[in-house]
Amino acid sequence: MTNIKEDVKAYIIEEFAYEADVGPLTDSTPLLSSGIIDSISALQLVEFLENKYSFSFQAHEVDQDNLDNLALIEAFVMSKVSAK
């Protein structure tokens, strides 16, 4: 659980063929609003997170506010997991 950002980063690089010359993928690199991840890939990411950390997104939580960068994703996953 300590390495959510690293896990998600590895997943994005592997799954969405994130190319290094786009620029470094930092905690604050915008993912959805930049187009690095399109809306369809975002749904895949949601399912990855659900399976990996054993929680469920509410339909309305599938949103840019929770998914737009690694820091937001980590914060969201932490809040969901600790609320369980």
The answer to whether residues 7 and 15 touch, using CB atoms and an 8 Å cutoff, is no
Nearest to another protein of 4, 67 (CB atom): 67
Inter-axis angle of helices 70-83 and 39-53, to 10 degrees?
40
By CB under 8 A, name the binding residues for another protein: 19, 21-23, 34-36, 38-40, 43, 46-47, 57, 59-60, 62-63
Q: Which is nearer to another protein, 3 or 33 (CB)?
A: 33
For residue 78, the minimal CB distance to another protein (Å) is: 22
User: Among residues 6 and 15, whose Cβ is nearest to another protein?
Assistant: 15
Token pair of 2 as six digits: 């300590």
Q: How far is the CB of 72 from another protein (least distance, A)?
A: 17
Give the Å distances, CA to CA, from 39 to 12, 79, 83: 14, 23, 27
